[in-house]
Amino acid sequence: MTAAPPRTVLGIETSCDETSAAVLAAGGAGAARLASCVILSQDVHRVYRGVVPELASRAHLVAVGDVVDRALADAGAALADVDLLAVTEGPGLVGALLVGVTYAKGLACATGTPLVGVHHLEGHLFGTALEDPDAVPPFVALLVSGGHSMLLDVPAWGDYRLLGETRDDAVGEAFDKVGSLLGLGYPGGPAIERAAATGDPARYRFPRPMLHRGQRPGDADYFDLSMSGLKTALIHAVRASKDLDADRPHLARGFQDAVIDVLVAKTLRAVEATGHRRAVLGGGVACNRALRAALARALADEGATLHAPSPRLATDNAAMIARAGLFRAAEAGRPVEAAARLPFPGLDRR
Ligand code: KG4
Ligand code: ZN
């Protein structure tokens, strides 16, 4: 337990391929100002067309000390000013997590500063609130990243009800796989978005998985997502293409439109089912401008608003970890261990 509420939080994130540290200045009544945020992306994975876990761990090991020092310097803070350390303990690549967790434990040990472990996805829920004071519960959350895709009912911070999740690939993972199928490199998301911008929406009409009119609230697939059928449709279309260079933008557009249609429809269902007037978008796929525009439009038609983070806070970063750590400050002192799989705290999977 921390004696007084923390004023300066240092967050550390190393769950995948971003080494990040951030300093948060906490104000009263849960307000928090981001004093600094440093994100070092590992370009090594672009060379190997995907995240290579062992290379991610090594890159974190090389960078974590400098990234933390830079974040402190940018904030004009010294280690002695930090009164709470927050680190991502899972889920993610265990070797990558271990680097951040071990480094944070070392800092905690050397300075006597309390340390709290943060769940990466709870971090993504808090990311938008750092920039948008209205991105607070009650809301519906659509978390779409490279590792996870879920739709949540969030009546209050720490109180999460799972409405739906992907049954196979995460949405970002599907973007990455289709990107590679189209010869667009890694990560696929931004490359598909760029290619789709000049694509003809009428050229390819791909299936909208788990979306049909007959679905009713209470049906198992009403909120759930699935990417595998859509991926298969893309594989067939790529094989049938006689000129992939010419068809690439249209294939990218057809894929992106199908994903967006599904995500928009499921988010609207969640808004309708919960009665919440706000939807918060998080995770790397939240960078997609076509998705943001479509969601904002559809929600506005229902009298609801979209709250989406800037691209910097949508992808993995330590600012969101510091913010979630501030919320979990009372848990400092509980053992922190890197874990590839970790139950989402406060999540009701009903
Ligand atoms: O949240 P994130 O940085 O890492 C995970 O926790 O997974 O998300 C990375 C994912 C990648 O799959 C990437 O392709 C996707 O986010 N992504 C995008 C876009 N930018 C990143 N997907 C679609 N459109 C984008 N513009
Ligand atoms: Zn993430």
Contact call for residues 38 and 321 (beta carbons, < 8 A)? no
Q: Please report the pLDDT score of residue 2 as a whole number.
A: 44
Q: Which segments of the chain have a pLDDT < 70?
A: 1-3, 29-30
User: Is 254 touching ligand 1 by the criterion CB < 6 Å?
Assistant: no
Q: Phi and psi (nearest 5°) for 190?
A: -60, -35
Q: Cα–Cα distance between 63 and 81 in angstroms, integer?
A: 22
72 plus 221 within the same structural domain: no
115 plus 51 within the same structural domain: yes
175 plus 198 within the same structural domain: yes
For residue 1, is it within any domain? no
Q: Please report the pLDDT score of residue 185 as a whole number.
A: 87
Q: Cα–Cα distance between 247 and 257 in angstroms, integer?
A: 15
Q: Please tell me whether residue 150 adopts helix, strand or coil conformation.
A: strand
Q: Cα–Cα distance between 146 and 283 in angstroms, integer?
A: 8
The residue range of the domain holding 32 is 8-126+314-348
110 plus 167 within the same structural domain: no
Q: Cα–Cα distance between 32 and 180 in angstroms, integer?
A: 39
Distances (CA, A) of 157 to 135, 139, 141, 160, 328: 11, 10, 12, 8, 10
* Structure tokens belonging to residue 6: 């923390």
Count of structural domains, the chain: 2
The minimum-distance atom of ligand 1 relative to the CA of 147 is 7
Q: Please report the pLDDT score of residue 74 as a whole number.
A: 97
Which residue matches tokens 């000390």?
65
41 plus 171 within the same structural domain: no
For residue 2, is it within any domain? no
181 plus 279 within the same structural domain: yes
| Ligand 1 pocket mutation pick from 20, 175, 230, 313 by most atoms within 8 angstroms of CB | 175
Torsion angle of C-alpha atoms 186, 192, 195, 197, degrees rounded to 10: -150
Q: Please report the pLDDT score of residue 44 as a whole number.
A: 77
pLDDT for 299-312, tens place per residue? 999 999 999 999 99
User: Is 127 touching ligand 1 by the criterion CB < 6 Å?
Assistant: no
DSSP H or E run through 65: helix 53-75
Question: Which domain CATH number covers 169?
Answer: 3.30.420.40
154 plus 102 within the same structural domain: no
Q: State the amino acid at position 131 in one-letter form.
A: E
187 plus 292 within the same structural domain: yes
pLDDT for 237-264, tens place per residue? 999 999 999 999 999 999 999 999 999 9
pLDDT for 55-97, tens place per residue? 889 999 999 999 999 999 999 999 999 999 999 999 999 999 9
279 plus 227 within the same structural domain: yes
User: Is 285 touching ligand 1 by the criterion CB < 6 Å?
Assistant: yes
For residue 133, is it within any domain? no
For residue 3, is it within any domain? no
42 plus 164 within the same structural domain: no
The minimum-distance atom of ligand 1 relative to the CA of 15 is 6
Q: Cα–Cα distance between 22 and 24 in angstroms, integer?
A: 7
Q: Please report the pLDDT score of residue 29 as a whole number.
A: 65
62 plus 80 within the same structural domain: yes
Residue 187, preceding peptide bond in cis (omega within 30° of 0): yes
164 plus 219 within the same structural domain: yes
